[in-house]
Structure formats: structure tokens, C-alpha cells
Structure 1
Amino acid sequence: MALLMIAQMGNPALRAVARPVADPTDPDIARLAADMIETMMDAPGVGLAAPQVGESVRMIVFRVPPDRSGGEAIPPTVLINPVIEPLDDETELGLEGCLSIPVLRGLAPRFTRIRYSGVGLDGAPISRVAEGFHARVVQHEADHLDGHLYIDRVTDTRHLATVEESHHLTDALKGAGDRE
């Protein structure tokens, strides 16, 4: 396995639409997935999309740590050719960061409940309902496959901050929840 270079905002690879993976069982895809997981864990991050490491294929890796899962932690997972289906219209603002934009954080709206599907490295279908942080991570990573960054979803530039000042954004979120 190897650590891969993560493309930074401004790199054209992050704005291209990735092509479908033709053969999920290809050993090169398995090697890429293993390298992506190692890179994600080393960063440390909770997700990584193939375009972020210079590979224009529709594959993401992600995990949901126990402290962010609200119950069930999700181990490192490989999802190839993902499809995202919102299960209702409800969205929620949440703080996001990105390994390709390491100096910023922002509040981005995401669907709160989704079904994602695709295939695993063995070619077997994967379909799962996700909520909360799990749903946010999968949507964030899948956006990369279509050339979108989370900052494209931020609806108000006042909802962007440097990492050092991002606590103000989370404080604002907590305050908004207290008023509802």
C-alpha cells in the first residue's frame, strides 16, 4: 500500500466528472482502494474520493468513527459507482471540511436521510440507508465524483471560516438549534 497525494482546490481533477468503474474486481481498483483507505486514515479523514488522488473513476472510501456515528460506527468502506437517493426533502446544515481544502470549514446543507447504492470490490451490490453524519459523508464524497466541492453547496459566504475560527460556525449552529 502507498500514501497518495491529495489534490488541492484549484486542481482541475477536482472539477471533472469521473467515469464509471467498468470492472470493480480489477486488481488495480482493489490496489487503488487500499491506497485510498491508507491515505484517508493517515490524513486523518473520514472520506476520500478517487478524483482527490488523481484517479477519474467513480469510487469513494469512507468511515464513520464511533464518536460521530450516533450509535453504529461504520468501518472503512469502499463504494464503487455510487448512486445517492434522498429519502425525503429534509435537509440540515452541518459543518464540513475537505482534505482538498484543508484550511477551510463551512456549513453546507445536506439531505438528512439517503439511500446509497453501488458495488463493492467483489462486484456484489451494496445498498444502505444512512442518516446524520453517515449520510453527510457519503453525499460529500459522491459530490467529488461529479466535480463538486462542499463550498459549492455553502449558501452564504458567512458560513465559511478557517479551521482555527470554525468553532464560531458550530456555535452558531448550536444557537440556531436552541431557538427552534
Structure 2
Amino acid sequence: MSVRQERSRSVDRRVRVQGHPVDAYPALPPEAERGSVRRVTVVGEEVLSRPCREVTEFGTPELSALIDDMFATMYVADGAGLAANQVGVDLRLFVYDCPDDEGIRHVGHLINAVLDLPDPGSRRLVDDFEGCLSVPGATMAVPRTDRAVARGLDKDGNPLVIEGTGYFARCLQHETDHLFGHTYLDRLSKRDRKDAVRQMEDCQQDVFAQRAIKAASLGR
């Protein structure tokens, strides 16, 4: 998921890491410092359109390295969230570094995520513009609920419950969609989907160039 352009991680005053409040946190997460940048898959690639496999092995160096690489890739691509299939790995895992509408920055990862949404009678749908790192350069209005709870595990197999409101709730819904083989394009009308693909075709080369510049600035 793309970062809202008007928001900056550098101005966030409050941070929750893996759902827990912390007093301070660096603008560049430690995982991104350790990780290597991977290629981001683009809509149309088969790995994005099939459900991801559950993670069954926890606490491994390979899983930790994948999370580090996903953070580095998300940062270089100016993302607020990134699913494993967006770097070509079909595992049910996503990472996030996303603000909510109250200015709280949420940072972490979630494995084998399932989503709890409010009951239909109490939920409020909000239309807001949404982008995706696998649909580079395109943004479209997508209806999402303004509250969401994602349940899953951390990299060591410990249970996690991550609650989101506003833009962070949107992020949790967007990334969980990826784990089941969907992008936000699947939630659009046929006409809007064509518009998004047209935007991507017009902008993707510029987006790729900006990612390359940012990666080079980090020595990646």
C-alpha cells in the first residue's frame, strides 16, 4: 500500500510497534536498515492472484531475513504496507509502517493474518484514495471500513492482535487482501479498473526510476 503523500513518518510523535506503544522509534525501522531491496511484483503476475501459503516454521533466520527485506523494499518504494507476494514470495505475511488518522504511527509485521471487521450494522464505509506498490503510479477511491482488527502471529509464533482505525484500518484491509490473492483493483468497477491500469501505464517508469534513486541513496 502506498503512503499518503501529505503524511510523513518524520513528524509522527506517537508510535506503536507490533501493537505496543513505545517512547521513541527511528524514522527508518531497524529491519529496513538490515534488509536488502527486492523487486516489487506488478499486477498481472500470477503470484499476486492466488492465495498465499500459511507460514508453518517460525523463529528461523530465513523468516527474519524476509521480513527485513520486505521493510527495506517498502521503504525504498515509499510504502505504508507490503505483502510477501509483492516480493514474489507466496507466504501469508505482511509488514507495515503506517499512520492512522490521529497521527499515531504503526510499525510491525503480521503472519497468517485474518481480519475481523465490525458488524454490518455498526461499520462505516469510507471512500478514500488508495494506491498499491504493485500498481505503480495509480490511485483510486476504494470503500473500506473505518475500523479493523487483524489477528495473526509474529515471526516467533507469538499471537498478535492489531487494531486499526482510519487510514491504518485501510492498510490492514489492503494488505490482508493481498494474502488471499486480491489487489484493490478487484474492488473497483470495470471502468475504474481500466482507469487505474491506464494511470499505471502512464506513470510506472517514473515510479521505477524514483525507487532506483532512493535505493542507490541507501547504498542498496
Q: CA deviation at 1:158?
A: 4.6
Point out the more displaced range, 18-27 or 33-42.
Answer: 18-27
Structure 1 runs not aligned, ≥5 long: 166-180
State the superposition RMSD in angstroms: 2.0
1:91 and 2:125 equivalent?
yes
Match of 2:103 among 71, 75, 79: 71
Q: CA deviation at 1:34?
A: 0.4
- Identity between Structure 1 and Structure 2 (%): 35
Aligned to 1:157: 191
Classify 1:158/1:15 alpha carbon distance in 2 versus 1 (closer, same or farther; 3 Å).
closer
Please give the per-residue CA displacement for 1:58-117, whole angstroms capped at 9, x wherever unaligned: 00001114xx54231112x11000010102332211111111111311111112111111
Is contact 2:148-2:172 (8 Å) kept?
no
Classify 1:32/1:158 alpha carbon distance in 2 versus 1 (closer, same or farther; 3 Å).
closer
Structure 1 moving runs of 4+ over 6 Å = none
Aligned to 2:216: none
Please give the per-residue CA displacement for 1:93-145, whole angstroms capped at 9, x wherever unaligned: 11111111113111111121111110111221111221110110111011111
Aligned to 1:146: 180
Q: CA deviation at 1:156?
A: 6.6
Point out the more displaced range, 87-96 or 144-153.
Answer: 87-96
Aligned to 1:55: 89
Is contact 1:88-1:113 (8 Å) kept?
no
1:79-158 mapped onto 2 (5 Å cutoff) = 79-89=110-120, 90-155=124-189, 157-158=191-192
TM-score by length of structure 1 reads 0.83
Is contact 1:109-1:154 (8 Å) kept?
no
Q: CA deviation at 1:33?
A: 0.4
Task: Tell me, in whole angstroms, the C-alpha distance in 2 between the residues paired with 1:120 and 1:40.
Answer: 18
Aligned length: 162
TM-score by length of structure 2 reads 0.68
Is contact 2:55-2:91 (8 Å) kept?
yes
Q: CA deviation at 1:37?
A: 0.3
Is contact 1:108-1:155 (8 Å) kept?
no
Is contact 2:101-2:165 (8 Å) kept?
no
Is contact 1:33-1:61 (8 Å) kept?
yes
1:44 and 2:78 equivalent?
yes
Is contact 1:24-1:119 (8 Å) kept?
no
Classify 1:104/1:117 alpha carbon distance in 2 versus 1 (closer, same or farther; 3 Å).
same
